[in-house]
Amino acid sequence: MSRRARWVVFWLGGLGVAVLFVLAVLRLPEFGGLVHPYRDLSVPAAMGRSSPNVVSSINFDQRALDTLGEETILLGSVVGAAALLRPSKDEKEQLAKEEGRVLEATKLLGYLLLPVTLILGADVVTHGHLTPGGGFQGGVVLATGLHLLYVAGSYRMLRRLRPVSWYEMAEAAGAGAFVVLGFVGLFLAGSFLANVLPWGTLGDLFSSGSVFALNVAVGAEVTSGVVVLLARFLAQALSVREVK
Amino acid sequence: MNLLPYLVAGWLLLIGCFGVVRSRDLIHTVVCVAIAQSGTYVLLLGIGFQRGASAPVQGAPGAVVDPVVQALTLTDIVVSATVTALLLALVIQISKRAGTVDPDELDELRG
Amino acid sequence: MNPLLLVAFVLVAAGATVVVFTREPSRQAVTLGVYGILLTLLFVLLQAPDVALSQVAVGSAVVPLMVLLAVRKVRGGKR
C-alpha cells in the first residue's frame, strides 16, 4: 500500500473509532463511582479461601483457567522469539576479547544489588497470596535481577551463571506444573484447577491452598521465560556474528 | 472531568495506531504497538477505580477498588512484554534477510 | 477528581505522545522507559500495587532493554 493510501485508511478508521469510542464512554459508569459488582463477589470469595491479596486469589483460584490461557500465550511467544533469534547456519557466536570498561562504582553497585534483588524477587513470588505480588511480578523481578550482572560489566560471568538450556527446561516445567495441578483438581475435586490443598489459616505462608503452588509454578515460568528472551537478545546483539 | 480517564485510554490507542502508520522503522512500529496496548491498562483500571477506596489487600480499612480488572491488567502487562519480544525478534529476522527495516523500502523490495 | 490523579492521567497521555513522536528508536527506548515509570505512578494512585509492581519491572527495564538490544543488532548488521 502506498504511503498516501495508508494515511487515508488511517484517518477514516481512526476518526470512526474515535467517534464510536466517545459514544461508548459516555454510557460507561462514572469514573470513581460506587458500583462494582465483580468486586462485591470476588472479595468475600477470596477471604473465604484465606488469600488476603484478592488479586492473586482471582488470578490463581477464581479465574485460574484464564491464567492458564495467558500463560500459554507467554510460553508460545517465548518459544517463538527464541526460535527466531537462534543463530542461523551462517552465523557463529564470538565473544569480544575486550569487555567494555565499567566504572568500579557501577560494578560494586551491580554486585551489591544482585543478591538483594534475587531475595526480593523470591519474596514477591512466595508471598503473592498475602501481599501485593505473585508469580508474574516476582518472576520479572528475578529475571531482571540476574541481568544486573550484565550492568556490572561481566557478560562472561553472566553467561557462566546462566546456562540457558536449564532455564528453557525450567520454563517448560513451570508451564507443565500448572497443568498438572489443574488435573489434580479435576481428579480430586471434580473440576479442572479446583483448589484442593487445605486453605490453612488466613495470613500464614502456607495458606490459601493451590494459590501458593500455582504462584510458584508461574514464577518459575515467567523467570525462565524472561531470562531466555533476554539471553537470546543479548547474544544476538553482542556475540552473534555472520561468518562469510 | 470524569470522562478524562477513559478519554486518555482512547488517546493512547489512537496515538499508538497513528505512530504505526507514520513509522519509518519497524522497531519504532513495535514500540507504537506497545503504546496502543497500554490504553487497555488505563481503561481497565479506570473502570475499577472507586474514589477514596484502598488497594484490594486485606487489612485495608473500608471499601476496596475492583480487584478483577487489576488481575486482568496484571497478566496483560507481562504477556504484552513477551509478545513485544516476539515482534522484535521478527524485526531482527527481517533485517537479516532484507537488510532494511524501513517498511517502504521493504515494499519496494517485494514489488 | 483528585488533582494528583488528574496530573498523572495528563502526564501519561503526554508521555505516550512523546514516545510516538520520537523518531530514533534508540532514543525511543529511553522515552519508553520514562513512560513506563509514569504509568507505574498512575497505577499506584489508582490503588493497584500488584499492577504497578509488574509495570515497573516490565515497562521501565525489560522492554526498553530489549528495544535497545534490537536496535544494536539491526544497526550493527547494516555496517
DSSP state of C24: S
- The answer to whether B109 faces chain A, any CB pair under 8 Å, is no
Which site among B21, B22, B27, B69 would you substitute to test the A interface, given the most A Cβ atoms closer than 10 Å to its Cβ? B21
* Amino acid of residue A142: L
pLDDT at A99 over 70: no
Give the residue-averaged pLDDT of B76-80. Answer: 89
Residue A187, Cβ density class (10 Å: 0-12 exposed, 13-18 middle, ≥19 buried): exposed
pLDDT at C21 over 90: yes
pLDDT digits (tens, 9 = 90+) for A43-79: 888 877 777 888 888 888 888 888 888 889 999 999 9
pLDDT at A209 over 90: no
Which site among A22, A25, A244 would you substitute to test the B interface, given the most B Cβ atoms closer than 10 Å to its Cβ? A25
Going by pLDDT thresholds of 50, 70 and 90, the confidence category of residue B111 is low
- B-chain CB neighbours of C46 within 8 Å are 45-46, 48-49, 65
- C-chain CB neighbours of B35 within 8 Å are 16, 19-20, 35
Flag the least confident range among A45-54, A184-193, A194-203: A194-203
CATH of B4-110 given 1.10.287.3510, 3.30.565.10, 3.40.605.10, 3.40.190.10: 1.10.287.3510
pLDDT at C78 over 60: no
pLDDT at B14 over 90: yes
Question: Concatenated DSSP letters for chain A?
Answer: --HHHHHHHHHHHHHHHHHHHHHHHHTSPPTB-S--HHHHHHHHHHHHTT-SBHHHHIIIIITHHHHHHHHHHHHHHHHHHHHHHS--TTEEE---SSPPP--HHHHHHHHHHHHHHHHHHHHHHHTTTTSS--HHHHHHHHHHHHTHHHHTT-HHHHHHH--HHHHHHHHHHHHHHHHHHHHHHHHHHSSTT---S---STT-SS-STHHHHHHHHHHHHHHHHHHHHHHHHHHHHHTEEE--
Of B15, B45, B91, the CB nearest to C43: B45
Main-chain phi, psi angles of A199, to 5 degrees: -75, -25
Give the relative orientation of helices B67-98 and C63-78 as an angle to the nearest 10 degrees: 10
Going by pLDDT thresholds of 50, 70 and 90, the confidence category of residue B61 is low
Please state the pTM of the whole predicted model: 0.88
Residue of A nearest to C61 (CA): A144
Flag the least confident range among A82-86, A152-156, A169-173, A232-236: A152-156
Give the residue-averaged pLDDT of C25-34. Answer: 92
Domain segments of chain B: what residues? 4-110
Distance CA C79, CA A15 (A): 41
Q: What integer pLDDT is reported at residue B101 of this predicted model?
A: 84
Which ipTM did the prediction report? Answer: 0.89
Going by pLDDT thresholds of 50, 70 and 90, the confidence category of residue C79 is very low
pLDDT digits (tens, 9 = 90+) for A102-141: 777 777 887 888 888 888 888 888 887 787 888 888 888 8
Give the residue-averaged pLDDT of B32-57. Answer: 90
Give the relative orientation of helices B26-48 and C49-57 as an angle to the nearest 10 degrees: 170
Mean pLDDT value across chain A = 83
Going by pLDDT thresholds of 50, 70 and 90, the confidence category of residue A8 is very high
pLDDT digits (tens, 9 = 90+) for A217-230: 889 999 999 999 98
Flag the least confident range among A94-103, A133-142, B75-84, C30-39: A94-103
Nearest to A52, CA basis, from A121, A123, A134: A134
3-state secondary structure B29-76: HHHHHHHHHHHHHHHHHHHHCECCCECCECCCCCCECCHHHHHHHHHH
Number of C-beta neighbours around residue A52 at 10 A: 20
Which site among B2, B13, B28 would you substitute to test the C interface, given the most C Cβ atoms closer than 10 Å to its Cβ? B28
Give the residue-averaged pLDDT of B10-35. Answer: 94
Of A55, A56, A237, the CB nearest to C72: A237
Looking at per-residue confidence, does B96 or A240 come out higher? B96
- A-chain CB neighbours of B47 within 8 Å are 28-29
CA distance B85 to chain A (A): 7
- The answer to whether B55 faces chain C, any CB pair under 8 Å, is yes
Nearest to A155, CA basis, from A107, A226, A224: A107
CB pair distance less than 8 Å for A236 and C73: yes
Distance CA C48, CA A67 (A): 18
Distance CA A98, CA A76 (A): 36
Going by pLDDT thresholds of 50, 70 and 90, the confidence category of residue A207 is low
Q: What integer pLDDT is reported at residue B59 of this predicted model?
A: 66
Name residue A240's beta-bridge partners: A93
Mean pLDDT value across chain B = 88
- The answer to whether C54 faces chain A, any CB pair under 8 Å, is yes
Residue B106, Cβ density class (10 Å: 0-12 exposed, 13-18 middle, ≥19 buried): middle
**Partner chains of B (3+ C-beta pairs under 8 Å):** A, C
Looking at per-residue confidence, does A147 or C63 come out higher? C63
Number of C-beta neighbours around residue A176 at 10 A: 13
Q: What integer pLDDT is reported at residue A204 of this predicted model?
A: 67
Q: Do residues B83 and A77 lie in contact, with contact meaning Cβ atoms separated by under 8 Å?
A: yes
Number of C-beta neighbours around residue A23 at 10 A: 9
Give the residue-averaged pLDDT of C21-38. Answer: 92
